[in-house]
C-alpha cells in the first residue's frame, strides 16, 4: 500500500464499484492512551459538542492500494465510503443514512501535531486554558498532548502516513464549519485509518478572537 507500482494501470470505475461492493472496513481497538488523552482534552473544549475517534482496518485491495500509494484516495471515493461505513458511524455514534460527499485536503504528517495543538487551543467555544487548573504553559501542554497523539499514531514513519482534513458538516451531528473538524490519518504500512471528529456550537465572534 505504501510502495507504488508505477507500471500498474489506473483501476477503472467498474473495478472500483466491485471493490466497494464487497470490501469492508473492520473496526480495530489499539488501546492508544495518548490518543484517548488528547480526544478527552479536546472534548472538554467543546461545551455544546464533542470530540470522538475510532480506528479501522482498510480493506486489502490492489485497487485501493493504487490510489493510496499515490496519495489520491479521494479519486477512489475512499473518504465517502470510509465515513459512511458502519464500523465508523457506529463507533463514533453518528447517524449517517448514506455515504457522505466530502472534500478532504491532503497533507503529510509533518505538521500534524501543530494542527492538533491549534484545534485544542482555539477550536472550541471553551478555551483549553479554562479546562486546566494551572494556566502557565497552556500552549506547551496542548503541544505535548498533540505530539503524543502524533507519536502514537505515526511513530517515526512520516513517509508512510498521510493526513486528510475537512471542516464540512457531512452529517447532522456537526455544526457550523468554523467549529468542525474531521481528520483522517491513513497509515499505508499497517492499512489503518484513524478518524477524529469534533464539533461545537457558538457565536461566530468566538472564532475571530
The domain locations on the chain are 24-202
Domain 24-202: CATH class, spelled out: alpha beta
Q: Which residue has the cell 461505513?
A: 85
> Which pLDDT score is estimated for 18?
85
pLDDT digits (tens, 9 = 90+) for 50-107: 999 999 999 998 889 989 988 899 999 999 999 999 999 999 999 998 899 999 999 9
Give the span between the Cα atoms of 192 and 187, in whole angstroms. 5
Instruction: Give Cα separations from 76 to 11, 62, 82, 189 (angstroms).
Output: 9, 12, 11, 19
**Structure-block grid coordinates of residue 134:** 494551572
> Which pLDDT score is estimated for 22?
85
Give the span between the Cα atoms of 174 and 180, in whole angstroms. 6
> Which pLDDT score is estimated for 40?
97
Give the span between the Cα atoms of 149 and 15, in whole angstroms. 36
> Which pLDDT score is estimated for 103?
95
> Which pLDDT score is estimated for 127?
84
**12 Cβ neighbours under 8 A, 6+ residues apart:** none
> pTM for this one?
0.91
pLDDT beneath 70: ranges in the chain: 1-7, 13, 134-135, 203-209
> Which pLDDT score is estimated for 208?
43
User: What kind and span of H or E run contains 82?
Assistant: helix 78-83
> Which pLDDT score is estimated for 192?
97
Residue 192 bridge partners (DSSP): 57, 187
> Which pLDDT score is estimated for 167?
97
Give the span between the Cα atoms of 170 and 100, in whole angstroms. 6
Helix (H, G, I), strand (E, B) or coil at 86: helix
User: What kind and span of H or E run contains 43?
Assistant: helix 33-44
**Structure-block grid coordinates of residue 48:** 455544546
Give the span between the Cα atoms of 27 and 58, in whole angstroms. 9
Give the span between the Cα atoms of 188 and 180, in whole angstroms. 26
Amino acid at each position: 500500500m505504501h510502495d507504488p507500482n508505477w507500471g500498474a494501470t489506473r483501476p477503472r470505475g467498474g473495478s472500483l464499484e466491485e471493490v466497494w461492493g464487497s470490501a469492508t472496513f473492520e473496526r480495530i481497538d489499539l488501546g492508544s492512551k495518548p490518543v484517548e488523552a488528547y480526544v478527552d482534552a479536546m472534548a472538554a473544549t467543546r461545551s455544546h459538542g464533542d470530540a470522538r475517534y475510532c480506528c479501522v482496518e482498510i480493506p486489502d485491495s490492489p485497487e485501493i492500494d493504487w490510489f493510496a500509494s499515490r496519495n489520491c484516495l479521494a479519486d477512489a471515493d475512499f473518504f465517502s465510503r470510509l465515513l459512511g461505513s458502519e464500523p465508523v458511524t457506529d463507533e463514533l455514534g453518528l447517524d449517517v443514512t448514506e455515504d457522505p460527499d466530502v472534500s478532504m485536503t491532503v497533507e503529510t504528517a509533518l505538521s500534524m501535531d501543530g494542527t492538533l495543538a491549534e484545534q485544542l487551543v482555539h477550536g472550541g467555544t471553551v478555551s483549553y486554558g479554562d479546562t486546566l487548573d494551572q494556566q502557565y504553559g497552556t500552549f506547551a501542554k496542548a503541544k505535548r498532548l498533540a505530539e503524543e497523539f502524533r507519536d502514537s499514531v505515526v511513530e517515526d514513519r512520516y513517509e508512510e502516513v498521510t493526513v486528510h482534513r475537512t471542516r464540512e458538516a457531512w452529517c447532522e451531528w456537526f455544526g457550523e464549519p468554523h467549529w468542525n473538524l474531521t481528520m483522517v490519518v491513513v497509515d499505508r504500512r499497517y492499512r489503518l485509518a484513524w478518524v477524529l471528529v469534533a464539533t461545537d456550537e457558538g457565536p461566530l465572534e468566538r472564532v475571530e478572537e
